[in-house]
Structure 1
Amino acid sequence: MVAGFPVVCVFVNDMLDNRVLETLAAEGTDLIALRCAGFNNVDIQSASALGIRVVRVPAYSPHSVAEHTVALMLTLNRRLHQAYNHIRNGNFTLQGLLGFEMRNKTVGIIGTGALGPRWRRYCAASVAACWLTTSQQNSTCTELGVEYVPLETLYGESDIITLHCPLNPQTHRLIDDTAVERMKQGMMLINTSRGAVIDTRAVIVGLKSSRIGYLGLDVYEQEGDLFFQDLTGQVIEDDLFVRLLTFPNVLIRARWIMFE
């Protein structure tokens, strides 16, 4: 398929390891264009050695991602997805649909690149405090009145934690058993970054113990086998994903809605 094509365009779940890159180089490809911001799926060292240039999307619209994050938070908090299904089924009772006021809550943001300041502005009237953690501090965030704290503090004091970090060796399964154990009881966890930032097994343990009271995902650790496909009427063989679907306080919105 690639023979004679100098450019190949790939997406986030296309794995370009050394074997694939060698094949591309042998067939004349010298440029790989990623339709995504992350590039952890490309062996960059091999690409460089083979003389293949790699380009990526510099960033998704931070406004759109911030809005999507807030939408997940509000939907989980006010149980809009449950209420919608209740009404569709003719159930007009109110039990189990009570949310909480976010205006007195502390939000922890992990990763504060282009998105952090936008997200803080959207939530300015909704949260009492906003704590950030990242390897590099963003001056715009500090000007908005937020505070950088150690990761352990963020875990232990945040009512809501939202993930906006890239996937790399430092962030792979950042949310593991230890992280979950440090979190406040009943906290809300939102992931709009990359699926493998979360260890799904650890999060399921947190949901079962009610340590995690709400979970909103638009990415999933093994999404490559699920997303972009219509699996209606088929058996989903991913046991962890199926287990997530059994929790009423979990909202999964398949990512890659087309952000403007």
Structure 2
Amino acid sequence: MKILTNDVVIKTMNLSDMQTALDWADSEGWNPGLHDAEAFYYSDPNGFFIATINEKPAGIISAVAHDDKYGFIGFFIVKPEYRGTSLAMLLGKTAFAHLGNRNIGLDGVPARLENYRAFGFTVAHQNTRYAGIASGSSDPRSIPLYDIPFDQLLSYDLKISGFNRRIFLSHWINQPGSHALAWPDKEGNPIGYGVIRPCRMGYKIGPLFACNDQIARVLFDNLCHRVKGEQVYLDVPEPNACSTEMAHEAGMTPVFSTARMYSKYSHVTEEKSVYGITSFELG
């Protein structure tokens, strides 16, 4: 490893720096959403870092503290000319320092798994991104998500994600050009919901949460129907066999895979209810 002797400065990003992060993520093939910046940034404004060398951007990383027990690392990108140097280690140390003693999650690409294992991370499961052309159908049993009181949505989301995503979801479900649907029970409480949002290429579904396979399938079909004929993506967690079946039945094909890793223990409270991952950047 080459130890950098240049003037490396790592600083906290501001909101405008997020555009750099999203552009770099796009160049890596991650296909971020067109309007992800605010949802990501305001989840933890102190958790996004950019490294400069000689005052030019050289690397980025995010370390979002979702609460006092759990954080997530993403946007870990070093410019090609600095790969194999100590810059990645410097960024990693910055992220770990910000997250402290929290359990940390991340989605690692296969080529980097050994690097993360060296820092004590273990693989919980595989994820696969699927892509296809949206078709789907309309079903009146799903309703617009805005018909569900926000606090009821948060309560349901907390049961599955394991942490309060109030700030994140307040931005995420209201992105321009997005569609958000819910499935209520007899009392009007959500027992499934999903969001589809415009990305640099096509649309991406996430999250897709449901208490059973039937509800997940209806929400998936309804969301696809909203963007019929467009390219659509779904990030599928390997433990959910129904989600993989849905993707195949919709004619979707695998694009790439990641491994969900944790520093201490698997964090998701109800993994069986996750049919589509919210994002690879924030978990």
TM-score by length of 2: 0.26
Return the index of the structure with the highest Cα Rg: 1
Q: Larger relative contact order (C-alpha < 8 A, sep ≥ 6)?
A: 2
- Scaled by the length of structure 1, the TM-score of the pair is 0.28
Q: Which structure's residues are more often strand, by fraction?
A: 2
